[in-house]
Amino acid sequence: MSVASSLKKLVSGVILDLDGTLLNTDALVGGVMNVFLVKYGKQWDGREVHKILGKTHIEASAVVVQEYGLPCSTEEFMSEITPMFSEQWCKVKALPGASRLIKHLSDHKVPMALASNSSKANIDAKIKFHQGWKESFSVIIGGDEVRAGKPSPDIFLEAANRLNIEPSHCLVIEDSVPGVTGGKAAGMQVVAVPSIPKQSDLFTAADDLINSLLDLHPEKWGLPPFEDWIEGTLPIEPWHIGGPVIKGYGRGSKVLGIPTANLSTEGYSDLLSQYPSGVYFGWAGLSTRGIYKMAMSVGWNPYFNNNEKTIEPWLLHEFKDDFYGEDLRLVIVGYIRPEANFSTLESLIAKIHEDGRVAEKALDLPLYSKYKDDPFLRSSSL
């Protein structure tokens, strides 16, 4: 990279979007919409979600009223739906990596603004449930405080102005197309972290595209790097999943030489939707055999472009026979990398083997090895 283009990247402040970037508000939309639309004999099918992401409340409401041919005005719709959403704010979860990012920037005294198309009152109502968030932002701006919401650059320019930082020295982090458009129009550096999968072609205007906040590397922008990566792995709050081993796509052993013990995602789609796709690792328990190291992919396997988000654990052990139907218990303790596409099968296989070695080594660290004794690995639901 030339000196000029690397210098251009140095930023001194960060402007964050809220819904879909820091908070998993999208998970609520379906639930609320369904309850509402049933009254009109309609059903929310989620297909419009991409049309409302990143919009102001009034714009999003207009889309729904129109798409569903509702016999009410946008204003009537809003006055009914707003309290239904408000009741849910206490349940909205932080997206993976959100609190970590806010704490990191705040610890390093990087000036931070929160800029959302939501109203200021709504922003306050949502973030009060997340410890340490409000205090970390020196600027919080709602869509009702500027002339035009995103994709207009207004809200970003106002944030930069209040931060007292040149727009070109601001880094915007955004999940939606209107947000990315607004940030670029403001002359800022923009990282897109899309909340809808498989839509990366919509984000070509962004300076960088990442899969989740776990993949943000602040040093790329001249900001202090995260210090919690250890030997190529990121410790995460452990999560548990288990069930009978099912036959996967049948490619694992046949094509790749990497036999994955696929888990049925039945009953787990809610849990899986909370975790970014990517390569993780941890411990695997098979009720009748023992406990093994494990590396796994969660997601759509870009190389094979699956339609469904799957979970494909690879037990790092040579088994003499198959164990379909056996109860498999997983404790996932760390993250390695986002899923990637590869130009050749060989390069995919090489990368997966590298993941296996990274996991194998990391799991000997006390930080991760202690989870080998997690009782969940030995319990059985069968």
Residues 21-80 that bind Mg ion (CB under 5 A): 54
Which CB sits closer to Mg ion, 149 or 278?
149
**Cβ distance 286 to 379 under 8 Å?**
no
Q: What is the DSSP string of 230-283?
A: BTTBEEEEEEEEEEEB---SS-IIIIIS----PBP-TTTHHHHHTS-SEEEEEE
- The least CB distance from residue 211 to ligand RBF, in Å, is 11
Active-site residue among 154, 175, 312, 374? 312
- Out of ligand RBF, Mg ion, none, what residue 260 binds, judged by CB under 5 to 8 A for its kind, is ligand RBF
Task: Give the whole-angstrom CA distance, residue 237 versus residue 240.
Answer: 10
Classify residue 121 as exposed, middle or buried by CB count within 10 Å of its CB (0-12, 13-18, 19+): exposed
Amino acid at 348: L
Q: Which residue is nearest to Mg ion (CB)?
A: 20
- The least CB distance from residue 150 to Mg ion, in Å, is 8
Other beta carbons less than 10 A from residue 382's beta carbon: 9
Which CB sits closer to ligand RBF, 292 or 303?
303
User: In the complex, which residues of this chain contact ligand RBF (CB under 6 A)?
Assistant: 248-249, 251-252, 256, 258, 260, 279, 295-297, 301-304, 312, 314, 339-340, 348, 352, 355
Instruction: Tell me, yes or no, if 17 is annotated catalytic.
Output: yes
Closest by CA to 103, choosing from 133, 128, 140, 134, is 133
Active-site residue among 17, 26, 175, 207? 17
Q: What angle do CA 183, 6, 20 make, to 5 degrees?
A: 30
Task: Give the whole-angstrom CA distance, residue 155 versus residue 163.
Answer: 12
- The least CB distance from residue 308 to ligand RBF, in Å, is 12
Instruction: Tell me, yes or no, if 135 is annotated catalytic.
Output: no
If you compute the radius of gyration of the chain from its CA atoms, what whole number of angstroms results?
22
Instruction: Tell me, yes or no, if 346 is annotated catalytic.
Output: no
Pairing of strands 278-286, 189-192: unpaired
Which CB sits closer to ligand RBF, 105 or 352?
352
- Out of ligand RBF, Mg ion, none, what residue 183 binds, judged by CB under 5 to 8 A for its kind, is none
Closest by CA to 191, choosing from 165, 163, 223, is 223
The reply to whether 19 sits near Mg ion by the rule CB under 5 A is: yes
Closest by CA to 9, choosing from 174, 168, 172, 193, is 168
Among 11, 17, 182, 248, binds Mg ion (CB under 5 A): 17
- Out of ligand RBF, Mg ion, none, what residue 20 binds, judged by CB under 5 to 8 A for its kind, is Mg ion
Which CB sits closer to Mg ion, 29 or 284?
29
The reply to whether 20 sits near Mg ion by the rule CB under 5 A is: yes
Pairing of strands 189-192, 13-16: unpaired
Site map for Mg ion, 139-178, x if CB under 5 A?
A: ------------------------------------xx--
- Out of ligand RBF, Mg ion, none, what residue 194 binds, judged by CB under 5 to 8 A for its kind, is none
Amino acid at 50: H
- The least CB distance from residue 46 to Mg ion, in Å, is 17
- Out of Mg ion, ligand RBF, none, what residue 19 binds, judged by CB under 5 to 8 A for its kind, is Mg ion
Which CB sits closer to ligand RBF, 13 or 252?
252
**Cβ distance 83 to 36 under 8 Å?**
no
- The least CB distance from residue 183 to Mg ion, in Å, is 11
Residues identified as active-site: 17, 19, 312
